[in-house]
Structures are given as C-alpha cells and as structure tokens.
C-alpha cells in the first residue's frame, strides 16, 4: 500500500506539473495566436469568395511538407491536403486539395467552397461512410518568418460523394496541437499525443481522445496502466480487434535556459479496448516487447497499414542533437510490423519473378548469365548520383544505399522459404528507381500498393523539399516504380544572409545559438581573404577535412572563444571547412 500510495502521489505531481506547463505555454502563446488569427482570417476571406466546386486537371502539386495523403475508400484515387513549404527565408502554408488519379497517373485540383484554413502537420483519416469521408483535425499555421505558431483544435470532414467541406463543432475535444496522430477505429476517431509550441515554450502531450462518428461527441479517455511518455510523430496503428498500437516518436525537454534535449523514443505500447464496443469503453495501456528486428532509432518516419495484418514504417532521419545545422542520417528502408505475431522485420525486394524462374530453371546452363544480369541490375549508379549530393554533407547516406546490394546473395535461398522469410532475407534492393533517403514523406496504401510522395532531406544548411512519387506492390515486393520524378525547377532556396540582421533582433526559442551561428558566418566572411589551406587537385572532401582539421579547429576556436564547448567548436570547424571546400571545388 505504501509503495502504491507513493506512485499515486508521484503520478498526481507529474499531472500538476504538466498542467502548469500547459497554462504557461497557453498564456505565452495567446498573444502570438491573436496576431496570427488576423492573418488566418485574411486568407479565409479569400477562400470565402469561392462559391462553386471546380475540379480541373493540373500539373503535380508544388513541393510541400507535412501535408496529408489519404486513399479514397471507394475510388482509385489519393487525396492530398494542406502542407507547408520553406525556401530558406519564408514559410508558405496551403489548404489546397489535390486528387491523384492512380490509373491515369494524373493530378487534378479540387476547389471546394469554405475549406479549412491553411495548415500543416495536421492529421487525416478516411472512413467509408456515405461514399467516403475525409476527417481532418488540428495542425498548425506559421507566420511567414516561421517564428510564430497558431495551433488548430478544429475538426473538419470532407464529404467525398458531395464534394463539400463541413466543420464539426463539438465541445470537449483536444487542445490545439500538431504532430499528433489520429486513426479511425471502430466508428471512432482516436487521437494521441502531439505538441504545442510558442516562440519560447513548448509542451508535448500523451493524452488520448475519442470522437464518436455516430453521435459526433468527444470524450477524453483515461486508460488504466502506464502509457507512453509525451511525444509527437509516433506510429499509431489500429488492430482488427479495435485496439491501438503506438511505437516510437520524438519529444524534447528544456534542461536549462535555451538548451533543449531531444529524445527519440523506441518503446512500444498497446492501448486495449476492454468494453467490447460499448459506449463507455474501458481502455488499458500495456507495454509491448516485440520480437524480430526493430527499426533503428529515428524520427520523421512515415507509417501506413499494410496487407496481411501488418503495418509498415518508411524512411526517417536520425539527427545529432545540440546542433542547428543538424547532420542527420536519412533512410529509405521499409520495416513491417506483424500485428498478430508482435514482430518487426525489415523488408527486402525480391526482384522480378521472371528472373527468379530463369535462375531456378537454368541453374547450370544459365547460372553465369543470370549472375551477370543480377550484377547489372543492382548497381545503384542512378540514385547514388543523387544521394551523393547529400553524402557530401551527411556522410552516412551512402552507407545506407551500399547495404542494399549486399542482400542479393540471399535470393536463391529465399525461393524455398515462406513469404515472410523471403521478405526478411531474400532479394536485392539494388533497383535504381527506389526513392532516395528522406524523412517526412507522405504515404498511403491502395489495393496493396504503397505510394510514397515527397518528403525532405538536407544538404548542409539547405533543406531539399521533394515532390516525387514512387510506388511498390506490397504483395510482390519486386521493384519500385517511379510515377513522378522531381522537377529541379521547383526547387528554390534563398540564403539566410538577408535575414541575419532581423534574426539578431528577434530572440526565438533557439535564438542564442542562431545568433552565435550567424556571427560565425559573418566572421567567416570577414576571413574570406585569409589564406586557408588549399584544396589539392582531385582531393575528396573527407581527405581534405582530415588533412586540415587542426587548422579549422584553431580558426573556429579563435572566433568562438575559449568558453565554447569542444563539440560545438568541432561542428563549426567542420562546417567552415566544408563550405570552403565546396567553394573551391
């Protein structure tokens, strides 16, 4: 009893602390949101001028992040809504609605009166009711300079059959947030987690809400047991039994003034419905300990339901913390989670079936020819040329790509094993058409085919927002198909130099480091005429960094002062060296 009482007290103390933090964030965010409400209202007045539904063929959407991509429940269509685009200086928000026609491989823009306000990082869920409904909750609106945020707590439904938007106003719903997760489960929308951010403060959530799709009412769930810590960007998957699986996610906490510590969560939980569909369901949290090979720690991954009672995880990034010019490892791999077996395993492409049969039939006469074909198929020259632009800054993405052809030797063995073992051990992922490594891709599954749209990766301080479209048959797992290549003309990046002076006057949540970094860049510019170590003909970047590291460390230390942390000095030194190397080359 004594231990239980202490645990209860500790839990109540944590709840009080969270409540105080939420009030503090809400108080500071109120002024920001009042400023942004006027801008949102201005955009809505423009949307109010739309009085009729117009669907027109159009080019593919411009690059954007944190939009939603959903499969139409009845038609061979994908529905893309909202999103944001950052060009280095300015943030653009969207509330456009696009339809991708799968059979025609074409896009159409659908203009419908009274749409939701512009937003990103919202959540969308599709249900088959009345010809199909697309439900939208939450998300955020950012000021053009990206320093102020408005977090939505509104709920909308797009009636796909009648092409009409409707805002559902029901009390008792979640607070404004973005980065949360929402799924449709047993005639309910279940929402978990997310975060709310102002210029100086932020809070992460681990609360759970349910919206009843029959009576249009909200209820806040109070599950028994110990649940996940507060987080955003996790995997949330409904099971056929009406339960919910939570995996991973990201959160950060302030350890001292202007210093935040991020956490990549890798734990897994089951939220179980005990009420057997009754109105007053009882829910319970329990921790899952899956077998198999879990995904490596990452954030920014994408998730979707997969055939055979599985869900999948695609891509993501593993960042190094305490850095604004973050160097991250980006991924383009797929992991499956078997819900029934509580088991993770990595996906592997099997290669075209015709080639498999050829190798099986002609093991002696055609073994060498088949082997040559296999060797010719995987060379990743195409994507590696693209990724090498990333490698020049990140350094590890090439490693990810190089791992792919290594699984080719398992192909012959995989033919005699069951389907799951083939997916885990067989096949080569050396197809030259696969998506390049990325995070925050939009994914949807229709008729057992996974569609991957866009995402982003980083090259140094530059963010590359993608707008390509790939697909892969999850039943066959034979090869990726490129449905839309990225148009380089859509890429725009404006250097921050023009806004440095403004940033010096505006201190944001990470303002201290921003000022430090901008002063470093200015100091580097002033040293532009200094005789830095020259790049030798044909010298690779890694060789140059190794040869001149001490020089750049000394230069960075002289700019930053003796009190700067060694790790920070090292990062800045490498950044200066890379910049000089790239300019020289």
Query: Is residue 212 located within the same domain as residue 119?
Result: yes
More confident residue, 289 or 494: 289
Query: Is residue 179 located within the same domain as residue 88?
Result: yes
Residue 407 tokens read as 């699984």
Query: Is residue 574 located within the same domain as residue 475?
Result: no
* Strands 302-306 vs 310-319: parallel, antiparallel or unpaired: antiparallel
Convert the pLDDT of each residue in 508-519 to its tens digit: 333 333 333 344
Number of alpha carbons in the 13 Å side-chain half-sphere of residue 298: 25
pTM above 0.75, yes or no: no
Convert the pLDDT of each residue in 269-309 to its tens digit: 999 998 655 555 789 999 999 999 999 999 999 999 999 99
* β partners of residue 316: 331
Model confidence at 226, in pLDDT bands (50, 70, 90)?
Answer: very high
Q: Please say whether the beta carbons of 431 and 349 come within 8 A.
A: yes
3-state secondary structure 292-338: ECCCCCCECCEEEEECCCEEEEEEEEEECCCCCCCCEEEEEEEEEEE
pLDDT at 543: 76
The total of other beta-carbon atoms located within 10 Å of residue 545's CB is 16
Query: Is residue 485 located within the same domain as residue 558?
Result: no
- Cα distance between residue 159 and residue 135, in whole Å: 9
Model confidence at 258, in pLDDT bands (50, 70, 90)?
Answer: confident
**Arithmetic mean of pLDDT, 144-158:** 91
Mean pLDDT of the chain: 78
- Cα distance between residue 367 and residue 344, in whole Å: 34
Percent of residues in the chain assigned helix, strand, coil, to nearest 5: 30, 35, 35
- Phi-psi group of 419: left, alpha or beta (phi > 0 → left; psi -120 to 50 → alpha; rest → beta): alpha
Convert the pLDDT of each residue in 388-399 to its tens digit: 343 333 333 333
Of the ranges 186-195, 271-280, 485-494, the best mean pLDDT one: 186-195
Count Cβ neighbours within 10 Å for each residue of 214-231 and write b for 16 or more, e otherwise: eeeebbebebeeebbebb
Query: Is residue 578 located within the same domain as residue 474?
Result: no
Query: Is residue 484 located within the same domain as residue 545?
Result: no
More confident residue, 18 or 528: 18
Nearest of 339, 333, 191 to residue 268 by alpha carbon? 339
Comparing 29-33, 247-251, 503-507, 565-569, the range with the smallest average pLDDT is: 503-507
Query: Is residue 305 located within the same domain as residue 441?
Result: yes
* Strands 291-292 vs 343-346: parallel, antiparallel or unpaired: parallel
Comparing 128-132, 224-228, 557-561, the range with the smallest average pLDDT is: 557-561
pLDDT at 244: 96
pLDDT at 49: 83
pLDDT at 542: 75
Provide CB contacts within 8 A for 402, sequence distance 6+: 380
Of the ranges 31-45, 394-408, 444-458, the best mean pLDDT one: 444-458
525 domain-assigned: no
More confident residue, 200 or 176: 176
Q: Please say whether the beta carbons of 530 and 554 come within 8 A.
A: no
Question: CB-based burial of residue 554 (10 Å sphere; 0-12 exposed, 13-18 middle, 19+ buried)?
Answer: exposed
Domain count, the chain: 2
Comparing 121-135, 188-202, 347-361, 471-485, the range with the smallest average pLDDT is: 347-361
**Arithmetic mean of pLDDT, 548-573:** 73
Query: Is residue 464 located within the same domain as residue 553?
Result: no
The CA angle 13-14-15, to the nearest 5 degrees, is 90
**Arithmetic mean of pLDDT, 159-174:** 96
* β partners of residue 279: none
Nearest of 511, 513, 524, 519 to residue 145 by alpha carbon? 511
558 domain-assigned: yes
Q: Which of 463, 490, 517 is the last residue of a domain?
A: 490
Query: Is residue 443 located within the same domain as residue 578?
Result: no
Which ranges of 506-565 does DSSP label H, i.e. alpha helix?
Answer: 511-526, 541-560
pLDDT at 384: 41
pLDDT at 561: 66
Model confidence at 477, in pLDDT bands (50, 70, 90)?
Answer: very high
Residue 571 tokens read as 């990062």
367 domain-assigned: no
Provide CB contacts within 8 A for 148, sequence distance 6+: 32, 35, 36, 142, 198, 199
101 domain-assigned: yes
Which ranges of 380-510 does DSSP label H, i.e. alpha helix?
Answer: 381-394, 397-403, 411-414, 419-425, 500-505
Residue 64 tokens read as 């954007």
450 domain-assigned: yes
Quote the domain boundaries for residue 574: 541-584
312 domain-assigned: yes
More confident residue, 177 or 359: 177
Comparing 106-110, 283-287, 429-433, the range with the smallest average pLDDT is: 429-433
Query: Is residue 451 located within the same domain as residue 573?
Result: no
Query: Is residue 476 located within the same domain as residue 562?
Result: no
Model confidence at 491, in pLDDT bands (50, 70, 90)?
Answer: confident
Convert the pLDDT of each residue in 191-224 to its tens digit: 999 999 877 788 999 999 999 999 999 999 999 9
pLDDT at 546: 76
* Strands 149-151 vs 140-142: parallel, antiparallel or unpaired: antiparallel
- Cα distance between residue 139 and residue 383, in whole Å: 33
Nearest of 237, 306, 297, 245 to residue 271 by alpha carbon? 245
Model confidence at 48, in pLDDT bands (50, 70, 90)?
Answer: confident
Of the ranges 316-325, 425-434, 438-447, the best mean pLDDT one: 438-447
Number of alpha carbons in the 13 Å side-chain half-sphere of residue 59: 8
CATH number at residue 98: 2.120.10
3 domain-assigned: no
Residue 8 clears pLDDT 80, i.e. is over it: no
- Cα distance between residue 573 and residue 566, in whole Å: 10
Share of the chain above pLDDT 90, in %: 49
pLDDT at 243: 95
Query: Is residue 191 located within the same domain as residue 311?
Result: yes
pLDDT at 358: 43
- Cα distance between residue 216 and residue 126, in whole Å: 16
156 domain-assigned: yes
Provide CB contacts within 8 A for 546, sequence distance 6+: none
Q: At what angle do helices 566-584 and 381-394 cross, to 10 degrees?
A: 130
pLDDT at 361: 43
More confident residue, 362 or 433: 433
Share of the chain above pLDDT 70, in %: 70
pLDDT at 486: 82
Residue 109 tokens read as 């823009």
**Arithmetic mean of pLDDT, 496-520:** 39
């Amino acid at each position: 009893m004594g231990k239980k009482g202490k645990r209860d007290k500790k839990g109540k103390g944590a709840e009080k602390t969270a409540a105080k933090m939420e009030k503090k964030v809400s108080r500071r965010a109120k002024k920001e949101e009042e400023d942004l409400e006027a801008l949102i209202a201005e955009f809505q007045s423009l949307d109010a001028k739309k009085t009729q539904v117009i669907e027109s063929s159009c080019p593919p959407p411009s690059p954007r992040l944190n939009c939603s991509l959903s499969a139409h429940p009845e038609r061979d269509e994908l529905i893309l809504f909202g999103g944001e685009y950052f060009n280095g200086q300015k943030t653009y928000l969207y509330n456009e609605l696009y339809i991708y026609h799968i059979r025609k491989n074409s896009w159409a823009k659908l203009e419908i009166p009274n749409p939701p306000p512009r937003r990103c990082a919202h959540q969308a869920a599709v249900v088959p009711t009345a010809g199909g409904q697309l439900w939208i909750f939450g998300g955020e609106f950012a000021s053009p300079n990206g320093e102020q945020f408005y977090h939505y707590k509104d709920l909308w439904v797009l009636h796909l059959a009648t092409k009409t938007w409707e805002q559902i106003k029901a009390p008792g719903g979640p607070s404004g947030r973005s980065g949360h997760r929402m799924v449709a489960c047993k005639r309910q929308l279940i929402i978990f987690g997310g975060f709310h951010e102002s210029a100086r403060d932020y809070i992460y959530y681990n609360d759970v809400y349910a919206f009843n799709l029959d009576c249009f009412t909200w209820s806040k769930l109070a599950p028994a047991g110990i649940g996940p810590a507060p987080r955003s960007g996790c995997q949330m998957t409904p099971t056929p039994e009406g339960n919910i699986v939570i995996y991973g996610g990201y959160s950060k906490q302030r350890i001292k003034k202007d210093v935040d510590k991020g956490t990549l969560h890798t734990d897994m939980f089951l939220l179980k419905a005990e009420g057997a569909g009754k109105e007053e369901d009882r829910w319970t949290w329990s921790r899952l300990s899956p077998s198999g090979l879990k995904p490596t720690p990452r954030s920014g991954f994408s998730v979707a339901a997969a055939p055979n009672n599985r869900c999948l995880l695609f891509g993501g990034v593993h960042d190094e913390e305490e850095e604004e010019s973050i160097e991250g490892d980006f991924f383009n791999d797929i992991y499956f989670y078997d819900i029934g077996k509580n088991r993770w395993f990595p996906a592997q492409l099997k290669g075209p079936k015709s080639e498999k049969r050829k190798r099986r039939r002609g093991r002696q006469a055609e073994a060498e020819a088949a082997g040559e074909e296999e060797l010719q198929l995987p060379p990743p020259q195409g994507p590696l040329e693209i990724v090498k632009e990333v490698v020049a800054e990140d350094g590890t993405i090439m490693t990810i790509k190089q791992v792919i052809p290594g699984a080719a030797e398992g192909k012959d063995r995989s033919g005699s094993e069951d389907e799951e073992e083939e997916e885990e051990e067989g096949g080569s992922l050396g197809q030259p058409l696969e998506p390049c490594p990325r995070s925050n891709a939009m994914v949807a599954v229709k008729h057992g085919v996974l569609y991957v749209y866009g995402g982003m990766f980083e090259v140094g301080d530059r963010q590359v927002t993608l707008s390509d479209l790939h697909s892969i048959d999850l039943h066959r797992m034979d090869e990726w198909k490129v449905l839309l290549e990225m148009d380089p003309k859509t890429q725009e990046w404006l250097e921050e130099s023009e806004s440095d002076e403004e940033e010096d006057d505006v201190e944001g949540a990470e303002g201290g480091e921003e000022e430090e970094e901008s002063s470093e860049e200015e100091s580097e510019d002033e040293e532009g005429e200094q005789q830095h170590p020259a790049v030798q003909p044909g010298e690779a970047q890694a060789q140059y960094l190794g040869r001149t590291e001490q020089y750049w460390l000394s230069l960075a230390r002289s700019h930053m002062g003796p009190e700067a942390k060694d790790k920070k000095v090292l990062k800045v030194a490498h950044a200066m060296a890379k910049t000089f190397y790239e300019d020289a080359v």
